[in-house]
Structure 1
């Protein structure tokens, strides 16, 4: 199924049409719309973990950090998982994958900070905000979107370098883990 056209508010019939299957085929595989959304989120979390795990293997801390951010932005997994936040009840598997994703992302960031490559006033909760800013770029065709996301990621990366911290301090505190996590609680 094409993740770029997922609309969690779409009727099941529209989801089936977008997937190129009948409604009954969709319900055979997913007993409810919530189950479909939960599965899509699991897929996104698995991809996030795979990208982070691969990036963490780089010997150079800055290159690991850059590969991680580029991989997450390129895969567009963050926009999918955040878009689905609060629309289904997370399972233990969701929680474990989210924990693992956070541990990997924090490890990559902290390693780059210890190496003096990334500014020390950046926190692990700053990164999801960057992914979301870049995921919001949806101008033109997919190629143009990819190019623009790369452009703005490079601008972000310049500001994340430790040398940028010497030029200016960040004006406000990063979001708290509670603020980031609140999105996962159902609005209903």
Structure 2
């Protein structure tokens, strides 16, 4: 898209893409890393980075909000799949492959959320509920699995992280396949209730500058 923009705007768009890609890599490895590490990895000057993101908190917030919007985009696409069970499986696989959840979890508490994210938070909840409802209607998803259980599945997959990125992807997909098999109807009763609304909310309490 930057090719269609004139001069400085095209360069700014390219820099922004480089900065966000670098920030994902840097902060996934270490959320406490300095913003200068992002500039170095992106190959841009620190002044260019600060022109776009005036503080580390703004950059972290942008990354996390982009992750949530990606989650919503993937969920909306999965809702277009006619079969409810297949749609749920596609959603989980696409979120794990896009590595959306691990970034969100890593950044929780590293910045102060603002109200601009609330529509996307509500949308994400609605999408998860719709995916689970459709999967239940298909008869394939066990009755005691709720929408909040999707967070447990995605967190389990994001916890798999090795130095080898290829092997990490393989093992995350294997983990997801095992979990999906356990979500199908016919298995023994699950222990305890699913996560309650807001049960994970404490992680988003801002812990101050890092």
Partner of 1:68 in structure 2? Answer: 91
> Secondary structure of 1:179's partner?
coil
Q: Which runs of 5+ in 2 are unaligned?
A: 1-20
Gaps of 5+ in 1: none
Give the direction of change, closer, same or farther, for the CA distance of 1:140–1:9 in structure 2 (3 Å limit).
closer
Equivalent pairs, count: 185
Check the 8 A contact 1:125/1:180 in 2, yes or no.
no
Match of residue 42, structure 2, among 4, 19, 22: 19
Calculate the TM-score normalised by the size of structure 2. Answer: 0.83
Equivalent pair of 2:39/2:45 in contact (CA under 8 Å): yes
Which of 140, 149, 157 is the equivalent residue of 1:126?
149
Give the CA deviation at 1:51: 0.5
Q: Offset of 1:36 from its aligned partner? A: 0.2
Equivalent-residue separation in structure 2 for 1:47 and 1:76 (angstroms): 10
For the pair 1:169 / 2:192, whether they are aligned, the reply is: no
Map residues 27-176 of structure 1 onto 2, 5 A cutoff: 27-164=50-187, 168-176=188-196
What secondary structure, in the 3-state scheme, does the structure 1 residue paired with 2:147 have? Answer: coil
Instruction: Tell me how far 1:115 sits from its aligned partner.
Output: 2.2
CA distance in 2, matches of 1:125, 1:46: 18
| Higher Rg of the two aligned structures | 2
Contact 2:109 2:204 in 1 (8 A): yes
Range 57-66 or range 5-14, more displaced? 5-14
Q: Please state how far the C-alpha of 1:140 moved relative to its aligned partner.
A: 4.1
Is structure 2 residue 172 aligned with structure 1 residue 182? no
Number of the residue aligned with 2:26: 5
Runs of 4+ in 1 over 6 A off after TM superposition: none
Separation (CA, whole Å) in 2 of partners of 1:58 and 1:136: 28
